[in-house]
Structure 1
Amino acid sequence: MLDLSSGLDDTGQIQPYLAGCLLLSWILVGVAVYWGHNSLGKIAFVTGTLPYVLLLAIFVGTITLPGAVNGIKMFLTPRWPMLGKLQVWLDGAMMVLCSMGLGTGGIINLSGYCHFHSGCFRNAMITGLFSVAGCTLAGCCMFSIFGVYTYTTQIPLHSLNISETEFAFQIFPAISHYLQHSPVWSAMFYLLLYISCFGTQIVYINTIHTGFLYKLGVHTTVWKLSSLIFFISLFYICGLTTITQAGMYVMTYLNEFVHKLAIPIFCLMECVFTTWLYGAQRFYNKVADMTGSSDSPFIKWIWKAVCPLSLVAILALTIVCDNCILCKAEVGGKAWMEPVGWFISALPVFVCFIPSSVNLITFHGSSKQV
């Protein structure tokens, strides 16, 4: 169906049916963002809760199949030698940053729709707990599917090494035949993937669009609609690279590099700018105004020291412990893949950091006025 090419450097042709589906998805995202605060809360409720319901239903369905319990046992059983490897902890830290959308501005943008006294600490705890619960449930569901697949194919579970796309388009279709009414389960699974990506995309596009309008200082309907159409068209054109015959390789390549530098550096910049330039005590006082109470001052040292040092460690380990399998010559990697990948990862940092640095350097006043 995908008609894959020989590799990343052989793009081939754009798949017309995939281009049509991509266009429809971007149109739906644009419509949802244009409706703004009138619909964003309702959409967020659906895209935030429906994936959990579908994921739980799929888990209940697959747990009844032979081999599923073995997969869950493997997921929940610690492998102590692996916990001694820095790469495991680095992958876990990056998963936490990416799964919660930290450093992207999405949570900050959505918080603007909340009431001033809505309780930011409570919301942060709920968001974190839901993220952990969702990742745990997704892990149990994924490994139960792995268990069923290895049971039916007689492949050792510990030797299974596949990507996310292979799991979605090869593993699950292979085991769905063992479920009653398999087309229904397949529809639920792909609806789960689509709704999850759809909700995330709405948040990110809304963040970019809102920031753009705020920077220009215009909020007329014409500017709002025209700028949204521009961003939707731009991202659609960029997305065409993922639906060529090399699209699978492009997605795997971007998934390997795009978050490596940008996410930790953005999170670090947020911590440093907020606690050291704006001031941890000032920020703490603002939070106290919102919550109506003064929580433990220990949290100020978490903002000022624990979080920045942790992010510096993540960033250092990312650079030192980098092990891009895709770029190795023995698996068909090219010499240009790794430097280009690092450039893609660092590009958002330069785009945001250079204008911010210029504004700070040219700003006349004290740090309290920043």
Structure 2
Amino acid sequence: MQIVGATVVDCLVSPCSRGILSMSGGIEEVGSVKWELLLCLLACWVACYFCIWKGVRFTGKVVYFTAVFPYVMLAILLVRGLTLPGAWQGVVYYLYPDPSRLADFQVWMEAAAQVLFSYGVSSGALITLGSYNKIHNNCYKDSLWLCVLNSATSFISGFVVFSTLGFMAEKQGISIDKVADSGPGLAFVVFPQAVALMPLPQLWAACFFLMLILLGLDTLFAGLETIISSVIDMFPGQMRRPWRREIVLFFFCSISFIIQISLTTQGGVYVFQLIDYYGANGICVVFVSAVQCVAVGWAFGADRMCDAVQFMTGQRPWGYFTLCWRYFTPLICMVCFFGFFLNHQPLTTSGGYMYPDWAYSVGWAMALSSVVAVPIWAHRGHPHTASVFLVPSGR
């Protein structure tokens, strides 16, 4: 995430921005809590708790709105973006490739990590939510449709973003590569600036940020459901009693809210930057993906996995999937994993701010926490791990 990493702080390190946003001089200067952000954070956690506290069946009903409404907003923003002056310039910039970038190994590493992250691979959410399906649910077809829908959404979203950036470039009289940015900087800095230049900016800003809020809630739903379901499966006798799920979820949301109060301080943007750069690093995603493929393709066995899929769906996966589980995906993931270490650059900002050494240590601890957990759990072993795959069952 090196490319994504330096966007937010880079855009906000000017003295003017620090004055407006009440930013401190660095992560070591915590400063005071900004109560507006604190109340927004509290409202998000309260909404998330009451949306998933009754389990996946109730959450599924909520998701009908939170997952569909962003597509409505995306369609509105797409139509509006394509009708702006200069939109075609942005579309051409989006669709016209730069062949020289294909020789940059960093681009391929970022692409691999982004694909895995976008598909929700390695986070456990797909496995957890899939466990609630019926035994003979066609998971084979669902997986293919998930890939098609995800890729199509990303492709269409590109038209929304770059048509707006093309408008912004024409409005300011500069080339589009000067306004194009990536990651959080695009979502929270560049795109809002472009929206502010449109007619009726309040309307389009409301549509855009409402879409972001709902997308964030959807992601949080899946993550929390994964954690709570794991706790219930580990302690079924205690957790399946009345109100145990609600109580555990309440304590988890409360602890998460308390920890995230640090993000609402004057130095919170630096903490956010550290988490975004290291905590969501591609190292974690590609490593866990490689381990999962080895577990499926070799430990459990690709042929046995095909038998399980055939038992559930009535059709056997293509042989190509067997090759991916055993060879292609683990090899690509491990190449990217070691490539991240070889091309790693410490987190810095264009304003010259360098994080203290202890912050880099905390960042690496976050990045490697999920990596270290794999060999620790594998060393302990689990006698019932194989039986989970031998007899597929829904909840």
Same fold (TM over 0.5): yes
> Is 1:272 the equivalent of 2:294?
yes
Alignment of 1:1-370 (within 5 A): 2-160=21-179, 162=181, 164-217=183-236, 218-260=239-281, 261-324=283-346, 326-327=347-348, 331-336=352-357, 337-351=359-373, 353-360=375-382, 363=383
* Distance across 1 between alignment mates of 2:214 and 2:349: 34
Change (3 A) 1:369 1:41: closer
Q: Which moved more, 1:3-12 or 1:91-100?
A: 3-12
Cα displacement (A) at 1:257: 1.4
The Cα shift of 1:103 comes to 0.2
Please give the alpha-carbon distance, in whole angstroms, between the structure 2 residues aligned to 1:321 and 1:160. 26
- Equivalent pair of 1:278/1:367 in contact (CA under 8 Å): no
Code of the aligned partner of 1:342: W
Query: Residue deviations 1:236-287, cap 9 Å, x none?
Result: 1222122111222222222111132221122122112222222222211101
Structure 2 vs 1, CA of residues 269 and 151 (structure 1 numbering), >3 Å: closer, same or farther? same
Deviations 1:322-364 (A, max 9, x none): 234x33797311352444322210112334541342125xx59
SS, match of residue 265 in structure 1 = helix
The letter of the residue matching 1:318 is F
Offset, 1:311: 1.2
Q: C-alpha distance in 2, partners of 1:365/1:69?
A: 54
- Per the normalisation by structure 1, the TM-score is 0.91
Q: Aligned pair in 2 of structure 1 residues 365, 136: CA closer, same or farther (>3 Å)?
A: closer
Q: Give the drift of 1:369.
A: 9.8
1:119–1:12 Cα change, 3 Å: same
* Other-structure match for 2:4: none
How much does 1:63 deviate? 1.7
CA shift, 1:29, in A, is 1.0
Offset, 1:305: 1.2
| Aligned-residue offset at 1:65 | 1.5
CA RMSD of aligned residues (A): 2.5
1:156-213 deviations in Å (ceiling 9; x for gaps) = 2223364544433433333334434322211110110000000010010010011011
Structure 1 segments unaligned to the other structure (5+ residues): none
Distance 1:126 1:369 in 2: 23
Structure 2 SS opposite 1:309: helix
Q: Which runs of structure 1 show a deviation greater than 6 angstroms over 4 or more consecutive aligned residues?
A: 364-370
**Whole-Å Cα distance in 2 between the matches of residues 307 and 164 of structure 1?**
25
The separation in 2 between residues aligned to 1:238 and 1:39, in whole angstroms, is 27
Change (3 A) 1:155 1:250: farther
Q: Return closer, same or farther for 1:140/1:364 CA change in 2, 3 Å cut-off.
A: closer
8 Å contact kept, 2:77–2:160: yes
Task: Among all aligned residue pairs of Structure 1 and Structure 2, give the percentage whose two residues are the same amino acid.
Answer: 25
